Amino acid sequence: MTITPLMPVYPRSPVRPVRGEGVYLFGEKGEKYLDFASGIAVNLLGHGHPVLTKAIQEQAATLIHVSNLYGSPQGEALAKRLVDMTFADTVFFTNSGAEAVEASIKTARRYHHHHGRPEKHTLITFSNAFHGRTMATISATDQAKLRDGFAPLLPGFAVVEFDNLEAARKAVTEHTAGFLVEPIQGEGGIRPASQEFMRGLRELCDEHDLMLVLDEVQCGLARTGKFFAYEHYGIEPDILASAKGIGGGFPLGACLATEKAAAGMVVGTHGSTYGGNPLAMAAGEAVLDVVANDEFLEHVRLMGDRLRGALEQMIPNHDHLFESVRGIGLMLGIRMKTDSRAFVGYLREHGILTVAAGDNVLRVLPPLVIEESHVTEFVERLSEAARRYELPQQAA
Ligand SMILES: *Cc1c(COP(=O)(O)O)cnc(C)c1O
């Protein structure tokens, strides 16, 4: 037998973390890493944050899980906080991002079904999108690497070019249920949609009574310096999928919706055994306790400006490697002139964790609790690594 006990679907790196402390991770032999990947935009509070740790410890000792057969004071409390802070009137809790997107897709379809228009079932989605790895969420993207070998995929998705409002407008038919879009593409390479595009989609939805469904699994929850990224665009969605940062590392996702959009989601239409369990709710509350206030969001914006500024200053010194910086807040990407995946591997060997993304982008996704000293350390070490890095093709 050659297959490994862990199903070999990931190209796992030699980094084997066993402990975390703030912005640092430690490997099995005590190796220290500066973590500017945050478990792929998840660990907003870094590692071992006392507020999150205490909340989980106390809740674990009190009540972990009971199912959704019973009333949920914990779920009601967290849902109320999310409703108070956002466009939404109601929340469905999930355990992951893909499940939050699934719930969002179902809510959008069910809206039209509820109003006697079951033929309006198709969501218009966008090139290079990433919405997760379930059958519906891989059907919602045009990325071959996510879809290959899993046919037949689900019908009901039409993919058009990202950030192209005209293409989106032309794709609307009598079967359209709405749009599903990441305001800032994450896996696709830290690509923020333009103001015109996002506002245009909102107008199209208003005009044709369509659902604007935002996938803010990666860009949401304080990462861009706003609570959710839609706030940068001066619009509000009908439905929004959140996950990643919302649990600070504890598996938690949420589908947020307006009362209008959730019209079809009545008793019996959806469910989850674990979704909204008391332990996950405690983690979600702890994350909000830290991030859901103006001072914290201001800190994210300030650190984002510092980091971006420092990166922009560094780039001309290594212009054989780096092209430009893009993104918002602490969701940043450096477009590279060489294979970003190989360079991310090189940084890893030198104790710096980042994440590769599509379009040759190196993603910089630090915990939101970083301080100036971490920004300085990161940029100095990145610059030093760039100076030493030999392009793979030159090495031959
Ligand atoms: C990570 C991600 C998902 C999927 O989340 P999982 O928790 O891995 O299921 C969906 N959408 C976006 C934009 C993501 O970044």
Three-state helix/strand/coil letters over 261-298:
HHHHCCCCCCCCCCCCCHHHHHHHHHHHHHHCCHHHHH
Query: Which of 261-275 are b and which e, b meaning 16 or more Cβ less than 10 Å from the residue's Cβ?
Result: bbbbbeeeebebebb
The rounded Å distance from CA 217 to ligand 1 centre is: 6
Atom in ligand 1 nearest the alpha carbon of residue 99? 9
Ligand 1 center–CA 135 separation, angstroms? 13
DSSP assignment of 75-125: HHHHHHHHHHHSS-SEEEEESSHHHHHHHHHHHHHHHHHHTT-TT--EEEE
Other Cβ atoms closer than 10 A to 302: 14
pLDDT (0 to 100) of residue 396: 47
Looking at residue 391, its pLDDT comes to 75
State residue 223's pLDDT score.
98
**Quick one: 17-48+294-388 is in which CATH superfamily?**
Aspartate Aminotransferase, domain 1 (3.90.1150.10)
Going by alpha carbons, the residue nearest to atom 6 of ligand 1 is 97
Alpha-carbon gap, residue 175 to 251, rounded angstroms: 34
Report how far ligand 1's centroid is from the alpha carbon of 215 (Å): 8
Ligand 1 centre from 183 Cα, in Å? Answer: 13
Match 């740790």 to its residue by tokens: 53
Half-sphere exposure of 51 toward its Cβ, with a 13 Å CA cutoff? 16
Task: Decide: helix, strand or coil at residue 74.
Answer: helix
* Assigned token pair, 241: 């999928």
Return the number of other C-beta atoms located less than 10 Å from residue 319's C-beta: 9
Cα 331 to middle of ligand 1, angstroms: 15
Kindly give the distance from the C-alpha atom of residue 186 to the centroid of ligand 1, in angstroms, as a whole number.
9
Q: Which residues are annotated as a binding site?
A: 97-98, 130, 133, 215-218, 272-273
Instruction: Work out which ligand 1 atom sits closest to the CA atom of 96.
Output: 7
Distance 98 CA to ligand 1 centre (A): 6
Q: pLDDT tens digits for the chain (396 residues)?
A: 899 999 999 999 999 999 999 999 999 999 999 999 999 999 999 999 999 999 999 999 999 999 999 999 999 999 999 999 999 999 999 999 999 999 999 999 999 999 999 999 999 999 999 999 999 999 999 999 999 999 999 999 999 999 999 999 999 999 999 999 999 999 999 999 999 999 999 999 999 999 999 999 999 999 999 999 999 999 999 999 999 999 999 999 999 999 999 999 999 999 999 999 999 999 999 999 999 999 999 999 999 999 999 999 999 999 999 999 999 999 999 999 999 999 999 999 999 999 999 999 999 999 999 999 999 999 999 999 999 998 765 554
CA-187 nearest atom, ligand 1: 15
Binding residues for pyridoxal 5'-phosphate: 97-98, 130, 215-218, 273
How is the chain split into domains, by residue range?
A: 17-48+294-388, 63-292
Q: What is the CATH topology of the domain spanning 63-292?
A: Aspartate Aminotransferase; domain 2 (3.40.640)
Atom of ligand 1 nearest to the CA of 218: 15
Q: Using CA positions, which residue lies closest to atom 10 of ligand 1?
A: 131
Enumerate residues lining ligand 1, CB below 6 A. Answer: 96-98, 101, 130-132, 182, 186-187, 215, 217-218, 243-244
* Nearest atom in ligand 1 to 219's CA: 13
What is the per-residue pLDDT for 393? 58
* Segments of 249-382 assigned E as strands: 253-257, 322-328, 331-336, 352-353, 355-357, 361-364
Please state the pTM of the whole predicted model: 0.97
